[in-house]
Amino acid sequence: GAVVSQHPSRVICKSGTSVKIECRSLDFQATTMFWYRQFPKQSLMLMATSNEGSKATYEQGVEKDKFLINHASLTLSTLTVTSAHPEDSSFYICSASWRGGPFQETQYFGPGTRLLVL
Amino acid sequence: GEDVEQSLFLSVREGDSSVINCTYTDSSSTYLYWYKQEPGAGLQLLTYIFSNMDMKQDQRLTVLLNKKDKHLSLRIADTQTGDSAIYFCAEVGGSQGNLIFGKGTKLSVKP
């Protein structure tokens, strides 16, 4: 149980275009979804937290107008990288958790999306 | 702020035990986690331990928690080549209840 999917798994785009990444919880209702970014050989850094039906909370230094997050339902959150540039190339990973039950703090991760901006 | 530290590399021979160590700073973290990341893939939850436990065993995995020293370790018995990956220790922290990760320990298993 607790499966999280991401789509696409890999995307290559031209500089200046926008890319949308989807994160879905397949067998549970995710009250909270997190978006992380991972640069090569580094740890994950939190970009933003989204709760269903409310605006995302962004970490310091993350531009909310550049990384648009929508958490429209309890099973879907999207991250749109607008006007992507080569420095946005990275591995983007989402995770999902839910309230209630004994493991409410546990986050389950998607497989990640590798973005390459040319 | 919260911080999680891990050694960056560990190399063992197939069949030996591996011990990956981690220190953390936030003593209020209810759970502590170990995640595994294979090359080019996302994170897989390996195991977790509740903060009022000292030890948790799950098949080949043993987690030891020393709350006094804020030290967490993951022992993998009979390490196999398929265990080669990066292992992340994580605690719950931050204002949003997000996970704070260590930089990851790259485990290399030699045949």
Q: What is the pLDDT of residues B39-74, one digit of tens each?
A: 877 788 899 898 889 999 999 999 999 999 999 999
List average pLDDT for each run of 10 residues in chain A, which is 118 residues long.
88 96 90 88 85 86 93 91 95 83 67 94
Query: What contacts A18, CB < 8 A, 6 or more positions away?
Result: A80, A81, A82, A83, A84
The partner residue sitting opposite B41, judged by closest CB among A57, A97, A111, is A111
Using an 8 Å CB-CB cutoff, list chain B residues near A107. Answer: 45, 98-99
**What pLDDT sits at residue A118?**
96
**What pLDDT sits at residue A1?**
62
Check A46 against B94: CB less than 8 A apart: yes
* Closest-CA residue of chain A to B36: A109
Query: B105 to chain A nearest CA, in Å?
Result: 10
- In single-letter form, the type of residue at position A32 comes to T
**What pLDDT sits at residue A100?**
57
B80-91 confidence digits (pLDDT tens):
999 999 999 998
How far apart CA A113 and CA A9 sit, in angstroms, is 4
Using an 8 Å CB-CB cutoff, list chain B residues near A95. Answer: 43, 99
**What pLDDT sits at residue B95?**
67
B89-101 confidence digits (pLDDT tens):
998 776 667 788 8
A89 touches chain B (CB under 8 A): no
Using an 8 Å CB-CB cutoff, list chain A residues near B31. Answer: 103, 105-106
Q: Is B76 exposed, middle or buried (0-12, 13-18, 19+ CB in 10 A)?
A: buried
Check B99 against A95: CB less than 8 A apart: yes
What is the four-CA torsion angle of A87, A64, A95, A104, rounded to 10 degrees?
Answer: 150
**What pLDDT sits at residue A101?**
47
Query: A83 to chain B nearest CA, in Å?
Result: 25
Please name which of A90, A85, A114 lies closest in space to residue A7, comparing C-alpha atoms. Answer: A114
